[in-house]
Structures are given as structure tokens and as C-alpha cells.
Amino acid sequence: MVNNPKSTTGGEVQDVSEPFALQSFLGAVDDVFARAMPRSGIYVTPQDKLWFNVTSPINNIVFRAQWRFLRPDGVVVDEFQNFTYTGAGSGQFIPFPLMEGWLLSVVVGIFSANVPQGACTMAVYVGVLNTTQGIAGYCLLQDNMTSSYYCAWPGTGIQHPTAGIGWQTAVAITVPGAGANFVYDFPQTKRQRVMSIGFDFTTSAAAANRTVRLQLGYGGSQNNIFTSAFVQIAALTAHYEFVAGGAFSAVDTGCIQAPLPTWIDSDCSVVNNSIVSVIANIQAADQLANLFIRFQQWHEND
């Protein structure tokens, strides 16, 4: 309890009980310091930890973090730590111990170079880890990071991983056997928005007019067929690019372009989402090759 001053009328000002942690804090400092108690800090104990939760497909990212404390004896302490992320594909919690006092600020940035925009998400928590129920405490910040962007608390807000610009990447699709169509299954751990799908298609000498089509599958049900305007004859190799927001083009077999809508992306809450080719009149010796899908990608499990 803090001693209350005398009133100007000679009476005592009513006592107000303070929380235990605040009593301990105020009891350790003089009255002047007590009146300057930090308003934005979080009071922590040695049982608490500072947790850096990183999610990125890139391994060995080096981070530099700094946090500032106000100890119960009134001394301001700065701590600096470098740490390396090694959890590519699954994410990683990296903890640091804390001393007792007021946590005033946290700053964290990427210290290694060439981390593309949208390829790394950082969340910072403070509290106690419960192995069955997660972290009991506070989420201080969460945001997408690059090599030139620092996150800070107070300051940076809490952003969902899909709120920022996605990381642009390409994924190779497994090449099917002769006479077969390709299948790409969207992962449930990432949100992928299709930018383009490219591949080569070589037809055999068997006489038939082939038409290349793509089909979007949602929850195991196939729908939304997208068709090229080009009719491919026998014994011909052509390259196809289905482009989000693109236009039809069938002038040059070196690059036949067809449009896709801009909204095709995976829904991580639904299983069995896929994109497949459905080529009309495909023949037994026809062959797809060099299949790539280009995405904007976010980490839905952050």
C-alpha cells in the first residue's frame, strides 16, 4: 500500500490498496519514481519468457532482437540477442528468459540478407508456456517481415499473415506419364493464390485435335473449367501459359496464353483442393512436361 499524503483540510486521504505486484514494485523505489510509473509496460517475473514465433519456408534466417526493462530498483536494462531460425516448413518458437520488472519495449529485425517480401512472419509473445494450452500471457506484435523492415512493440500492430503481400514463388508439378493429365493438390498449411500455370504439351502422331483445359477442384468436387482457344493437332509441341487476368493468344506455339480468374487460391480450411488438366482427346502417347505453378503464397498456420 502506498502512503497517502495529508489533505489540505487536515484529514487523511482514503487508503487505496494496490495489487500485490504493484506494491512490490512501488515499495522498492522512492516516491518520485513511483509517480513516474511506466504506463505502457508489462510486469513480468522470472517465470515468464519472451517468445519469438517465426514462420518461413526459408531456413537459417538470422534475427536481431532488443528489449528494454525497468527493474524494481529503478534501473533500466537493455538486452540484445541474435538468434537463427531453423524451422523451415513448420515454424519455430524461440524463447528467452526474463528478469523481474517492467517490460518496456521490444524490437526485432532480420539480420541476414535477401528475405523476400511476404516470406517471413514474426509474432512475439510474453508469458508462461503451458504444454497443453499454449502461452498464457500477451501477444505483443505479429507482422510480415523483410530484410529492411523491423517490428517493434509498442508500435507494430497484430496483423494476420494473409494481410500483407504474399511471397512470389514457383512450384514444380509432378510430370504425369504418357497419355495422362497432371494433378496439383493445394497444401493445407499455406494459402496459395495462382498467378500462372505453365507447361509444355507434345502430341503424338495419332490423328486427333486436342484442346487443353484446366479444372479447379474444391473439396474433392471438380468445377470451374478454363479452356485454351488453341486446337493442337498431331505431332506438335506447344508451350501453354494460363495467366491470372491474362488474355487469349494462339498465334505462336512457343507460348499459347489463356486467361485464368484472379481469385483462384487454396482454402486451407477445406481438404482436397486441386488443379488438374483435362485435355480433350488426349492420346496414349501424348506427353506433358516442364510443369510449373507460380503463386503468391502466405503462411496460413502462423
CATH 2.60.120 residue window(s) in the chain: 167-298
Top-tier CATH class for 42-161: mainly beta
The Cα–Cα gap between 20 and 23 comes to: 5
Q: Is residue 46 reached through a cis peptide bond, with omega within 30 degrees of 0 on the bond before it?
A: no
Number of helices followed by number of strands (H, E) in the chain: 2, 18
pLDDT of residue 29: 45
Answer positive or negative: Cα dihedral of 62, 68, 73, 74: positive
The Cα–Cα gap between 98 and 53 comes to: 17
Q: What angle do CA 55, 58, 63 make, to 5 degrees?
A: 70
| CB distance 33 to 74 below 8 Å | yes
pLDDT of residue 14: 46
pLDDT of residue 54: 92
What is the DSSP-derived secondary structure letter of residue 43? E
CATH 2.60.60 residue window(s) in the chain: 42-161
Q: Is 41 exposed, middle or buried (0-12, 13-18, 19+ CB in 10 A)?
A: middle
Which residue type does 48 have?
A: D
Residues of the chain below pLDDT 50: 1-9, 13-36, 301-302
| CB distance 67 to 100 below 8 Å | no
Q: What angle do CA 189, 152, 39 make, to 5 degrees?
A: 125
CA 71 to chain centre: 34
Answer positive or negative: Cα dihedral of 124, 129, 135, 136: negative
Pick one of 3.40.1580, 2.40.128, 3.40.50, 2.60.120 as the CATH number of 167-298: 2.60.120
What is the DSSP-derived secondary structure letter of residue 29? S
Tracing cell 496460413 back to the chain, one arrives at 300
Mind listing the pLDDT tens digit for each residue in 3-23? 444 444 455 544 444 444 444
pLDDT of residue 220: 66
Mind listing the pLDDT tens digit for each residue in 170-229? 899 999 999 999 999 988 777 788 999 999 999 999 999 999 999 988 766 767 899 999
Answer positive or negative: Cα dihedral of 173, 176, 180, 183: negative
